[in-house]
Structure 1
C-alpha cells in the first residue's frame, strides 16, 4: 500500500511541532476553520494578524454592498474573483493530487450575489460580519470552498508563521524554493504579491498552518446552524402548553426538518434569523456561544 509522507517525515523533524503535520503529496481532508482560529488562544501574533485580514476583507465587501455604488460593488467582485486555490497548504478535497480544484470566479460570484440579494438584509443589520459565517447563508459555499477562501485571505499570517517555523526547524530549510504568492493587504485593503523562500518538498512550495487552525469538520456549517439555532428557535417559539396535562409540548426537530418552510436549509437560516432578530433574539450570537462552550469542553477533555 502506498504510504503518504507527512511534513515531519519528509524533512526528518524528530521533535513535536506547532503546525498541522499534513501529507505533502496529497490534499488532506481537513479544512482551515476561521472560527476555530477565533476560539484558539494563539499562536500570536499570527492569530491576530489572520483575524484582522479576514475581518477587513469581509468588511470591504459589506461596505460595498451597503454603499449601493455600482463601481464599488464591481471592485468587490474583482476582489472575490482574484483568489486562486491556495494549494500550498495541502488542505481541501481534491481528487487530483493537491492542485486539482478551485473555482474562484464562481465562488466570488456566488458570495457577492448572495450578499446583494438573499443575504443583503443580514449585511444591513450587521449580523453577517465574519468570513466564516458565509457558509451558513450562501449556497454552494461549503467546507472546501470556505477553507480555500480563508487560506487566501489570511495568507500573510500563514506565510509569516511558515517563516517562523523555518527558523525553529532547520530541516524545513534544506529544500526550498523562491515563491510568489498573492496575499490580502489588511492595511490598504487590496491584493498584493509577496515573494519569499518556502519549504518545497519535491519542488512544490509548502505553506504551514498552525495546529488547531484546521478541522476535519469545521465548526460553522449551514446544517449545524440550522439544527441547533434555527430549529431550536422554532421549537421554542411554537411550544404550547397542553391544556389537559399542563405540560409544555414542543415539536421534534425531526418533524420540523421535513416542514416545507424549513426544508431548504440556507433559505430557512436567513429567514428565521431575521424573524428572530425582529423579536430581539440573536440566533448567531447564541450559536457562537454554543460553539464556544463545546470547544472549551473539547479542550478540557484533551487536557
Structure 2
C-alpha cells in the first residue's frame, strides 16, 4: 500500500502523525467535516472556519437576493479537489462537486426553504436540510474553500521531514481569497505523486461516511419527540394509534416521512428546535476520529496482515 508516509520514507505511523496518512493510489473514504473545524479551537481550525463562514454568508446572501450571476461566480471554484485523496475524489463513482453538478447544487440551494427563511445560516447544518448535498460534497466544498490553509499545513508538515520530501512548484487553480471573495490561481510548493499534487489534511478534522445520515435521522427523531411532548398542536391533524388515543412516533413518521424539507419547516414553526437539538444531541455526537479508526481506512489490509 502506497501511503504518504511510506512513499516519502517517513518512519512514523498514523498515531505519530498530525495529518491523515492517506493512500496515494486509492480513494480514502474519510471526509473533511466543517463541524469539527467549527468546534476546534487551534489556530489552523480558526483560519479555516473564518473562510467557511465568510464564503457561505455571501452565498446565502446571493441566493436570498435571487442574484444568480453572483451565486454562479461564488461557486465557480467548486471543481473536484483531487489533491487530498479524501472521499471519492479520485474515483469514478464519487459525487464530487464538479462542473456537471454545479447547476444541480445551485438549484438545490435556490429551492431550499431553509435558506430562504434564514434557518440555514451555517454550512455545517447543510446536511440536515438539503438532500442533494451529502457528506462527500460537503467535504469537497469545504476542501475548496480552505484550500489555502491546507496548502500551508502541508508545507509545514513537509518541512518537518524536509530531508525526505521534495516540493515542486505547482500551479493551483481555484484558491479562495476570503478578502476579495474571488477564486485565484497561484503557484505553490507541494509534494507530488504520479503527477498529481498532494495536499495533507489534519487528522483532527475528518469523519467517516455514515455520520451524516445518522445526524439527519437523529434530528428527525428528536424533532418528532419534541413536538409530541411540547408542541402537540403542530401534530393535530395526525390520527393517533397509541393506547388510550395517544400519539406515538410511528404515527408522526407515517404522516411526515423523514424529510429534510419537513425538518426545515418544523424549524420555521419553532425557532428553538435546531438550537435545542444541537445543544441536547448533536454536540454529543461530534467527536474526533481515533487513530485506530483512521488506520482502518488508510492502512486497511496492512493492519489485517500485521494482525
- Indicate the residue corresponding to 1:244 in structure 2: none
Task: Tell me what 1:163 maps to.
Answer: 155
C-alpha distance in 2 between matches for 1:229 and 1:112? 29
Q: Structure 2 vs 1, CA of residues 265 and 205 (structure 1 numbering), >3 Å: closer, same or farther?
A: same
Is 2:247 the partner of 1:256? Answer: no
The question of 1:233 aligning with 2:226 is answered yes
Q: 1:211-254 CA deviation, whole Å, 9 max, x = no partner?
A: 121111375546335434333323323399xxxxxx996623x5
Is 1:74 equivalent to 2:66 in the alignment? no
Aligned partner of 2:83 in structure 1 is 88
Is 2:292 aligned against 1:295? no
TM-score (norm 1): 0.79
SS of equivalent residue, structure 1 residue 63:
helix
CA distance in structure 2 between the aligned counterparts of 1:229 and 1:111, rounded to whole angstroms: 27
The unaligned stretches of length 5 or more in structure 2 are: 236-243, 294-307
Deviations 1:71-126 (A, max 9, x none): x43121232243211011101126837x966343454333433333332xx33553
Cα offset for 1:206? 0.6
Aligned to 1:209: 201
Query: Residues of 2 paired with 1:188 and 1:149: CA distance?
Result: 18
Maintained 8 Å contact 2:127/2:216:
no
Structure 1's consecutive aligned runs of 4 or more residues displaced over 6 angstroms after TM superposition are 296-299
Q: Is 2:106 the counterpart of 1:108? A: no
- Give the C-alpha shift of residue 184 in structure 1: 1.0
Native 8 Å contact 2:88 2:96 kept in 1 = no
Of 40, 52, 55, the residue aligned with 1:54 is 52
Q: Tell me the SS of whatever aligns to 1:195.
A: strand
TM alignment of 1:125-274, pairs within 5 A: 125-170=117-162, 173-174=165-166, 176=168, 178-217=170-209, 220-221=212-213, 223-236=216-229, 237-238=231-232, 251-252=248-249, 254-257=250-253, 259-260=254-255, 262-274=256-268
Partners of 1:206 and 1:176 lie apart in 2 by 10
TM-score (norm: length of structure 2): 0.78
**Larger CA deviation: 290-299 vs 15-24:** 290-299
- Do the aligned partners of residues 255 and 9 (structure 1) sit closer, same or farther apart at CA in structure 2, a change above 3 Å counting? farther
SS in 2 for 1:271: helix
Distance (whole Å) between structure 2 residues aligned to residue 266 and residue 106 of structure 1:
24
Give the direction of change, closer, same or farther, for the CA distance of 1:285–1:143 in structure 2 (3 Å limit).
same
Change (3 A) 1:48 1:297: closer
What SS does the aligned partner of 1:173 have?
coil
The alpha-carbon distance between structure 1 residues 155 and 296, as it changes in their structure 2 partners (threshold 3 A), is: closer
Q: Distance in 2 between matches of 1:157 and 1:94?
A: 19
Count of aligned residue pairs for this structure pair = 277
Distance 1:95 1:13, change over 3 A: closer
Give the secondary structure class of the aligned counterpart of 2:202: coil
**SS of structure 1 residue aligned to 2:200:** coil
Aligned mates of 2:289, 2:175 — CA distance in 1: 32
Q: Conserved in 2, the CA contact under 8 Å of 1:81 and 1:107?
A: no
- Output the aligned Cα RMSD: 3.2
